[in-house]
Each structure stands twice: as C-alpha cells, then as structure tokens.
Structure 1
C-alpha cells in the first residue's frame, strides 16, 4: 500500500515515499536560503544524508552540515552548533535524523537568536515567554527513525553536562514549520534502532493514555497510536524493507509525540536520568522499565488498560496487556532489566532523586515519592 498525504496537524506534514526530494522546495517556502543540516555523527556519512545535501546543493542552498551531536544531546553540542550556525551565516535549520539530530537541530534554530542561557527556557510555567520569538530561525524537520516524534513537537530535550540531568526546553516556535515524513529514509535502520525507537513510540502513547490529566483528543490519538505499533512494529523489525510497516510506524511516532501533550509518567522519569548518566538509548531504556512501571501503576490504571486491551484485540484485560508487552520486548530483543544493559544498581538513590524531580513524574497516575521510586528502580534491576 502506498501512502501519500499532506497534513496540517499539528504542523505541515508532507508524508509519503520519495518526498525527501521536496526538501529544497520546502526550505525555500519557509524563507530558508542558507540552511544548516543538523544530524548525528552516525548519520553524517550515510547515503540518505548525502542525498539530502545533494538536493539542497542542487537548489543552490549549499551543503552545510553540523554533526557534532551526542546520542543524548548536551549543552556543549548546542553551543558548538550555535557557533556553526552563526559563523556560517545560516538562516534556518534542517533537523535531520532520530531524536538526537531533531532535538539539537531545533534547539540550535531556537538559541541562535537568544541572549539568555538555554536553561532559562526550561518547560516550567511561562518561562518560554522569556524568549525572543523573532530570533528563532525556521526549521524543516526530516525524521529518519520512527519513535521520538520530535518532528512534530514544541520542545527539545538537552542534557546539562554539568549536572547530568535532562532538561525539556519549550517554545511554541520550536515546532518545525514543515516536516517531511518519508518512510524510505527509515528502511536502513538497524534492528536494534527499529526496536528501540518503536518502543519509544509505544511508551509515548501508553503513558499519554494512562496520564490522569484531561485531554480527550490526545487520549484518542494515543490509543490508535498503540494499535499501529502493535500491528506494524513487529513487521518493521522482521523486515526492514516493509515500506507499509515503516510508514505506519512513522505515523505512530508522530501520534505519540502529539498525544503526550496530555502527560508522560514514570517510564520517562526513570529513563531520563538513566540516559543522562549512562548515555543509554532513550527508547530502549523506556522499553526496559515499562513492565515494572505498569505493575507500579496498576492500582490506578487497571480499568484503563483493560479498555485499551479490548480495543487492541488483546484478551485478558490488564494481565493480557502486560503479557503482550513482555512478549513484544522478547520478540524485539529488548533487555529484560537495567543490569542487562550494563548498569549497576549502585546509584539508585541518586537516580531516584533525579526521577522524582523530572517533569514527566508529574503525569504519573500513582504519585511518585523518593521511597516508592527507589523500590521501583530496584524492580527495574
């Protein structure tokens, strides 16, 4: 099945195979004449990145690239990227790649015109109003994975290299002006990345669905996002060239990011400090802690999960859904516990303190305290 579509929710999305060829046109449409393509080190030498640069170059937009991006982008990466943006006289960003390239590309476009430090724009209250909106450069986003959903998000996650904490930087204009979702760009993803990013999409949908906050639009999007993951993630993992599965997973990733406006929870509040300290893959870390968090939240979400299970065609209510998650993790080669990822349980106190301070903790259905979070982390080991 071939899917070609133009959507205007939550931003302009150009969806379909081969649509990367439109990259230069969309840059010019939003006023970018000298873009800086921001991606990660691994992608910087790959054919899909060279193709994107060739498309820009052929339209006389140059082929400038910044790829000094860590798997969990830091303020140091951001400072270097802003310097490259200013030194090159750029007027917009092509954020290209998975979550790291997308998040840092967006942050570079945001910070290039600001005079205050990035931490002044953390997603707290109305801190975003401190920013100079006229200094934010236009962004065209091109995801090459299907998980983070940053291509349709109004935030960027940046790790503080001094405190090793992840901070969410928010501004409405961090939402890309145009997003190109071309499933062909995800065909070359290794199985481990397909697995980790796909489980990230599931975590976004699952936590948004379980969040106690009121947002019925996100609730519906989260539920359908989970269905797409259930139907198509195993297919994409089994056969990376299954373009239909790749396309539906790109949709699920975007849906998860839209849905979590409703809130996230303990899956993310646990995985954020683990990723910041140990530099683990964010989606894979989410997948590892998912079953213990489901058990932790069961008293508050059992009926909700039973309803979701029925919609997804899973028998057995909460227990059936829990078993499905375990089977899916096994099928996708997800480690069964944090220690299998090479992490020792010697910093649980520190991780727990960071977890309850993480903004995702506020959306967890069961209130997180230092003591119950320590116990939860122990279950994850």
Structure 2
C-alpha cells in the first residue's frame, strides 16, 4: 500500500514521502509570497531544515528563518519571533517542527496583526472573538515529529514565563491553511523523541476515547489512532528508517489531535503544569502519568476500555490494557515515574493547583478535586 494521499480533513493535508518538495505550491495555495520559517533551536541546524530553506529559496520565496524557540515555548519567544516577522516584511508563516515549532509558528502568524496581548485570547469562553480575524497571517504546517498533531489544531500551547503556567490560545483561523505531512522528515528523530512524541499521540487518542462528552466521530478516530500507535510505534522506535511505520505514526498524531476535540483529561491536566514548572518533555510526561490516571478513572472507564482492548487485540479487559501500557512504556525506555523523569523536589501543591485550573480537567471522566488529585499525583512518584 502506498502511503500517499491528499486529505481535506480538517484542513488540506498533503501526505506522503517526498512531499516537502511541494512547499512552494503550498505557499502559492495559501497566498504566501515571503514566508518566515519558524522552528526550534534543535532543528535549525539539521539537514531537513536546510532542505526546506533551499526549496523556498529556489522558488523565490527567500530563506527567512526564526529558531529561538524553547522546548516549552513562551511569550518571550513569541515577541522575538514577531519582531523578526515584522522586520522582514513577511506575509505568512511556515511552522516547521514538533509541537514547539508548530505552536509558536502558529502564534506568530496569529499575533502578527493583533494589538492586544496574547493572553487576552486564552481558550476561555468566547475570548477568541476579541481577535481581529482579518489580521491573521496564513500558515503552512510541516510536522517533523509524530506526536502533538498541532498541524491540524486551532490552538497553541504557550507557557507564561513569569507564572510558569501553560495557557491554550485558541482561534479558528489558527488552523493551518495547508499541511505537508512528509514522513521522510521524521526519519532522523532520535529514539527517545520518537517514543515521547508517539506516546503523546497515544495519550491524545486515549483521553479523547475516554472523555464523557458526546462526539462519535472523534470516538472512532481515537480508537483507530490507538491501534496505529500500538502497531507502528514499536517499529518506528526500533528502526527510525522504517518509512511505513513513520508514516502511520504521522497519521496517528494527526488523528489524536482531531480526536481530542472531544476532550482531554487528567493525563494532560497533570503534564501541563509539570512541564511548565520542571521543563519535562510533554509526551514523555504524558506516558509517565498514564497508568496512574487509568487507575484513577477506572470506575468510570472500565467498560469503555474493555471495548478498546478487544478492538486492539489485547486480552484481559481493563487489566490487560493497563498492563499493555506499562509494557509499551517499558519497551520504549519511558521513565517508570515522575522521580525517574527528573521531578525530584516537587511543589505538589503548585502542581495540584495548576492541574485543577487546566482546561483539560473538564474532559476527565471522574471529577477532579483537590483531594483525589493529590492522591493521583502521589501515585505518579
């Protein structure tokens, strides 16, 4: 089976090996003549980034780049990116990379023409209507990992550098105009990042599947996304050049992000404040807290997980699925708990406060309270 396709769900996605060469055509489709490529510090010096810049330059699009992006991007990174965008006279953004590069690139395009501070557009009620929609620049998204699925999302996660809180900034027009999903760009991902980003996709699918909200479309997408990660993440981890596994994981990542329109839950409610305070890798943190959260939600999700386990070919119902998650984490070299992850002197009260304030709590199957969240957090150490 050839893993090449054009999808228009939820945006225009050009999926397949080698399709990075279509970058100029994608820019033309989005009406971009002078793009700024936004990526992170780690990706900037790599061959795949040079390749993208060469393709841009050969097409007369220049080779504008901004790469001062931290693993957990902040408003400081955003301000620096906006300065480069405006000074260079750019008219659109190529968001290039994993979650951090994609999220910050989307925010540069979003904020380029706004006059209010970014925090005024947090995903609260209808705050997004405060933005000037006409001033949002077009976005091309080029994922280079297979985890966040930010390329098909209408929001970005931004860490407030002063309060160390992660905030979700939302607007419908933050959805990229065109996505180039080229699995060849993910071949150089180190095993550790392959594991962490892959488990991020798994967490998105799992939490969406367990969320109590009504959204049957997302439910189905989440279930098949779980299957793809189960089948292909071990292969991609074992052999980074397995292009079929890389492609299927790229699809699973996009599916997870589409599915979590149905909601996230306690996994993300914990990992957001932990990542903001201790700078841990987001997907890896999700993987570390996954088993404790499954146990925490057991009474509410047992029957649903039994159905998922049957579809995934996992025997033993809930207990079998729980054991599978532990075995998968172990096989991928994921730390066994938060202490092993490096969170050695935790401010548990601050984590609990952050978790309960996180919008992901609303999608958890069990109502999160101060007491039961404390017990959950203790179980993660």
TM-score class normalised by the smaller sequence: over 0.9
Counterpart of 2:302? 302
CA distance in 2, matches of 1:320, 1:346: 31
Distance of 1:230 and 1:270 partners within structure 2: 23
In structure 2, the residue matched to 1:188 is: 188
Q: Which residue of 1 aligns with 2:61?
A: 61
Distance in 1, Cα, partners of 2:114 & 2:40: 23
Residues 20-53 of structure 1, C-alpha deviations (whole Å, 9 max, x = no match): 0000111022110000000000000000000000
Residue 344 of structure 1, CA deviation: 2.1
Question: Where does 1:154-303 land on structure 2 (aligned, <5 Å)?
Answer: 154-303=154-303
Tell me the equivalent position of 1:131: 131
Distance 2:345 2:146 in 1: 30
C-alpha spacing 1:48/1:375, structure 2 compared with 1 (3 Å):
same
Name the structure 2 match of 1:143. 143
Q: Could you tell me whether the CA contact under 8 Å between 1:345 and 1:378 is conserved in 2?
A: no
Offset, 1:346: 3.5
Please give the alpha-carbon distance, in whole angstroms, between the structure 2 residues aligned to 1:327 and 1:7.
Answer: 34
What TM-score comes out, normalization by structure 2 length? 0.99
Deviation at 1:345, TM superposition (A): 4.6
Structure 1 runs, 4 residues or longer, greater than 4 Å off: none
Structure 1, unmatched stretches of 5+, are none
User: Which secondary structure state, in structure 1, belongs to the residue aligned with residue 9 of structure 2?
Assistant: coil
Q: How large is the Cα RMSD of the aligned pairs?
A: 0.6
CA distance in 1, matches of 2:46, 2:379: 39
What residue in structure 1 maps to residue 318 of structure 2? 318
- Are 1:87 and 2:90 counterparts? no
- Structure 2: distance between partners of 1:30 and 1:289: 39
Q: Deviations over 1:248-269 (max 9, x none)?
A: 0000000000000000000000
SS in 2 for 1:346: coil
Secondary structure at the residue paired with 1:231? helix
- CA distance in structure 1 between the partners assigned to 2:25 and 2:358 by the alignment: 39
User: Could you tell me which residue of structure 2 aligns to residue 3 of structure 1?
Assistant: 3
Residue by residue over 1:33-89, the C-alpha shift from the partner in whole angstroms, topping out at 9 and shown as x without a partner, is: 000000000000000000000000001100010000000000100111111111110
**1:364 equivalent in structure 2:** 364
Deviations 1:345-368 (A, max 9, x none): 531111001100000011100100
